[in-house]
Amino acid sequence: MKHAFDTPERKAFRETIEAFVAKEIAPHAFEWDEAGQVPWELHSKIAALGVFGFGIDQEYGGLGFDDPFMRVDYAVAMSMCGAGGVSAALGGRSIAIDPIQKLASDNIKARCLKDIVEGRKGAGLGITEPSGGSDVARLKTTAKRDGGEWVLNGSKTFITGGMEADYFVIAARTGPPGLMGISLFFVEKDAPGFTRTPLPKKMGWWASNQATLFFDDCRIPAENLMGQQDYGFIQVMNNFNYERLGLSACALGMMKVCLEDSIEWAQQRETFGKPLIKHQIIRHKIAEMSARIDVVESYLQNICWRIDQGKIPVAEICKSKFFATKALEFCASEAMQILGGAGYLRGSRVENVYREVKVIAIGGGSEEIMRDLAVRQMGL
C-alpha cells in the first residue's frame, strides 16, 4: 500500500532499515533463532541507525525527535526477517528506554541511558509477576524505604532480555492496594539481593531470552525511585501505548511475510496440471490475506497520524492490537495451508510466524484485556 503520510525522511528511514534487515539480519535470522541468541555486536550496529532513539534527547544518544510512522516502519521491517525472536532480542530494551528517559534521575541517565540507546547495554521492563500479568493493580512485589535505600522483595517473570540486561525498570508496590500505590524503580544487575534465572524452552521467540527476576531484600539507593512515588502506573501508561502499537506493527510485518511467501510458493507449485495460484480457492485466500493486511496497515497509519498530531488514541491502539493479532492468526493459518508440507519445515518463515502468533496476542496486554480497555475507553 502507498504510505499516505510519507515524507522524504520517513521514506529514507524505512529504506535504510529494510536494506539493513535484508543484508545483515535476514540471512542469519533462523540460525540465530535456533542458537537462542543474536551476536551482541548487532545491538550497536542497529542502534547506530537510530532505532532506539525515538523521543530520546541527543545528549543520551537519541534522535531528539519522535516519529510514530518510523517506529511502525522499523517494527514491520524487523518482523519481515521471519524470526520474531531476533527482533525481540534487539528491540526488547525499547520498553525500558522511555521510562528511563522520562523518570530516572539526571545522574542515572548520564551514567546509563546512552549505553542502552546506543546498544552497548541491555535494559528490561519488569511488570509481569508469577501470579499474573494482566491485573497490574494486584502486583505483589514490594518496595519499602529504609534510610537512604529502598528494599525490594518479590519477583517478576517473562522479562524480555532479562538474562542479558544490565538495567531494569521494576514496578513495585509502595502504597495501598490498587493501581495507585505502585512505583517504578531503576535496578542494576549487580544490586545486592537481585538474582535471575532463564525461562524454560518457549514456543517461539527463541533468539530472545526471557528471565524470572528475584528480589530478596534487594537494596537500591533512594535516588533509584523513578518519578513520583505511588504514581508509577499512571506515569508508565503511555509506554504501554507505544509497546502495543509496536506489537500491532509486528503483526503487520508477519502478515506481509505470510502473503509474500504464499504468493511465491503458489506461483511455483503446480497441482492438478496448473500453478497453485490459478486455483480459485487459493486465489481467494490470497485476496483475503491481502485485504486484511491493507486494513491493518491503513488503521496503523491513521493511528500514527493522530499520535503525530499530539493525540494518544488509546482505544484505537488497543483495538489495533487485538484486530491485528486476529488478522495475523488468519494469515498464518492460510499461508501454512498454501505452503502445505513445505510450510511445516523449520527454516520456512511461515513456520516461524505460525509459532509466534500467540506471543503477539498475549504479550504487552492480551486480546481480552485490549478489548476490555477499548470498551472502557468508549465510556462503557
Ligand X SMILES: Cc1cc2nc3c(=O)[nH]c(=O)nc-3n(C[C@H](O)[C@H](O)[C@H](O)COP(=O)(O)OP(=O)(O)OC[C@H]3O[C@@H](n4cnc5c(N)ncnc54)[C@H](O)[C@@H]3O)c2cc1C
Piece in contact with ligand X (CB under 6 A), picked from 62-70, 111-119, 125-133, 280-288: 125-133
CB-based contact 182:174 (threshold 8 Å): yes
Of the residues 53, 68, 82, 133, which one makes contact with ligand X according to CB under 6 A:
133
Q: How far is the CB of 158 from ligand X (least distance, A)?
A: 4
Q: Which residue is nearest to ligand X (CB)?
A: 133
Q: Which residues of 129-140 are buried (b: 16+ CB within 10 A; e: fewer)?
A: beeebeebeebe
Q: How far is the CB of 123 from ligand X (least distance, A)?
A: 10
Q: How far is the CB of 332 from ligand X (least distance, A)?
A: 17
What is the four-CA torsion angle of 230, 234, 239, 245, rounded to 10 degrees? 150
52 closest CA partner among 100, 12, 104: 100
Piece in contact with ligand X (CB under 6 A), picked from 27-35, 103-111, 118-126, 284-292: 118-126
DSSP-derived letter for residue 348 is -
Q: How far is the CB of 92 from ligand X (least distance, A)?
A: 6
CB burial class (10 A; 0-12, 13-18, 19+) of residue 213? buried
* For ligand X, the closer CB: 101 or 160: 160
Q: How far is the CB of 325 from ligand X (least distance, A)?
A: 12
Q: Which amino acid is at 364?
A: G
Q: Cell numbers 492496594 correspond to what residue? A: 177
Applying CB under 6 A, does 124 fall inside the site for ligand X?
yes
Tell me, by CB under 6 A, how many residues bind ligand X: 21
Q: How far is the CB of 109 from ligand X (least distance, A)?
A: 21
Of the residues 50, 68, 122, 126, which one makes contact with ligand X according to CB under 6 A:
126
* For ligand X, the closer CB: 3 or 138: 138
Tell me the sheet residues that pair with 186.
Answer: 169
* For ligand X, the closer CB: 141 or 224: 141
Q: Which amino acid is at 357?
A: V
Of the residues 127, 236, 327, 373, which one makes contact with ligand X according to CB under 6 A:
127
Q: Is 103 helix (H, G, I), strand (E, B) or coil?
A: helix
Angle between helices 349-362 and 232-268 (to 10 degrees): 160
Q: How far is the CB of 204 from ligand X (least distance, A)?
A: 8
* For ligand X, the closer CB: 6 or 135: 135
* For ligand X, the closer CB: 238 or 290: 238
Q: Which of residues 154-193 bind ligand X (CB under 6 A)?
A: 158-160
* For ligand X, the closer CB: 163 or 369: 369
Q: How far is the CB of 301 from ligand X (least distance, A)?
A: 26
Per-residue x/- mask for ligand X, residues 337 to 376, rule CB under 6 A? ----------------------x--xxxxx-xx-------
- Residue 243 CA from chain centroid, whole number: 6
DSSP-derived letter for residue 268 is H
The grid coordinates of residue 326 equal: 486476529
Render 19-72 in DSSP notation, one character per residue: HHIIIIIGGGHHHHHHHT---THHHHHHHTTTTT-TT--GGGT--SS--HHHHH
CB-based contact 138:132 (threshold 8 Å): yes
* For ligand X, the closer CB: 46 or 159: 159
The grid coordinates of residue 185 equal: 524503580
For ligand X, the binding residues (CB under 6 A) are 124-128, 132-134, 158-160, 205, 210, 359, 362-366, 368-369
